Chain A
């Protein structure tokens, strides 16, 4: 027996098919092409994050030119302290070495960021109470920051004899 009103179903199916097509088209318009490339997110988001600018050039970039500093540094206690940890972000300097020059650092303020004594610091880490240790002198009056151990007599030894003695004996006591 033939279903006499089959035309109704065909019309309805056509409406559904058209609806689905429109949905697919609209979806393809609004959903970015890379959505679902790696998972339920926009694949291009990775490229967006990757495209952010780099501010810290990395020690490899510094060492490519400043080999003289590296030669000094590798022999000292600061061998594994990277350049920009003290000198700050200098990617601009690596791009334009002549145009952008790093600022001179004030060791009196810089060194204490790490070496100021704090009871919560690991016991083996070299620490000083800066007010007692240097009496306001900049650290690089005695220590060479790239290789901080004092190998020669400090030029300002006259200022510091008893302070230095106190520090040295305190260090001895720690061991």
Chain B
């Protein structure tokens, strides 16, 4: 066949279209999970946290978190007042994984604060990613695409809550996925499943039957660093003003 330039140029777009449909392959099998019907968040009740570290251990085992890194951790706040001046001590030995040694110093206000990704609706970490490797999913979970992540650490710096780290072997950013592989199957997160006192509760803000709505209406609830307008969805009950 004698292909003229004219014919070649006519065939080129057709070939491009055909090639694209080959690349597309079969569409993704639709699971039962309806992505548009959820908007995930979490409720943390400081008054219930006993600092046992069960959440930290469960998270590490569920998600193969490398040793020395934490997708969730527990901090202990100790607030002293000496001559009218408030001093603050925060510790988190091994991310609180093995609990905390008791401190019997008198006159100190003490409490535990579990921390993790706030799954912000207007997240600073997703805004700085130069390659679209981190994003907020349509159901409100901030995730990392490990195949796209370059390991540039911009997001690690951008997160105001210190929730991201670079995986030491894979060299990609990692963070709490809100156990996306679990919640999309109808389970709760590993940390919520294993919290013995119910201090953590997964919340679906789009589900009208979720008790979170009643809870938010009847309790004083605060998010961390509200002045940063990150749209954080990790709601704390009984949060002390000293917590950062």
Contact = CB atoms under 8 A, between A and B. Distances in A.
Interface of A: 14, 17-18, 21, 24-25, 28-29, 33-35, 38-56, 58-59, 78, 80-82, 84-85, 88-89, 113-114, 116-122, 125
Contacts of A118: 50-51, 99-102
Contact of B188 (A14, A28, A58): A58
Contacts of B78: 120
A24 B16 contact: yes
B137 A46 contact: yes
Contacts of B228: none
Contacts, number: 154
Contacts of A58: 182, 187-188, 193
B100 A120 contact: yes
B52 A41 contact: no
Interface stretch (B156-164, B195-203, B219-227): B195-203
B145 to A, nearest CB: 4
A36 B168 CA distance: 29
20 contacts: A29-B23, A39-B135, A40-B132, A46-B137, A48-B145, A50-B184, A53-B181, A54-B185, A56-B61, A56-B193, A81-B196, A82-B196, A84-B193, A85-B193, A85-B194, A114-B52, A114-B54, A116-B99, A119-B103, A121-B112
Interface of B: 9, 12-13, 16, 19-20, 23-25, 28, 31, 33, 35, 47-54, 58, 61-63, 76, 78, 99-104, 108, 110-112, 132-138, 143-148, 177, 180-182, 184-185, 187-188, 190, 193-198
B137 A113 contact: no
A55 B193 contact: no
Contacts of A14: 9
A47 B133 CA distance: 14
B135 A120 contact: no
Given A29-B23, A48-B145, A119-B110, A85 B50 contact: no
A28 B20 CA distance: 6
B53 A113 contact: yes
A129 B190 CA distance: 29
Given A40-B132, A42-B148, A119-B110, A55 B62 contact: yes
A26 B74 CA distance: 48
Which of B62, B99, B188 counts the most chain A CB atoms within 10 A? B62
Nearest to A47: B28
B107 to A, nearest CB: 11
B149 to A, nearest CB: 10
Given A113-B52, A119-B110, A48 B100 contact: no
Contacts of B181: 49-54
A35 B76 CA distance: 42
A43 B148 CA distance: 12
A62 B14 CA distance: 56
A113 B54 contact: yes
B152 to A, nearest CB: 15
Contacts of A41: 132-135, 145, 148
B147 A56 contact: no
A9 B127 CA distance: 42
Contacts of B13: 21
A44 to B, nearest CB: 7
A82 B137 contact: no
A21 B12 CA distance: 8
B46 to A, nearest CB: 9
Given A46-B143, A82-B194, A85-B193, A121 B51 contact: yes
B158 to A, nearest CB: 16
Contacts of A35: 132
Contacts of A46: 35, 137, 143, 180
A125 B62 contact: no
A122 B50 contact: yes
A34 B23 CA distance: 11
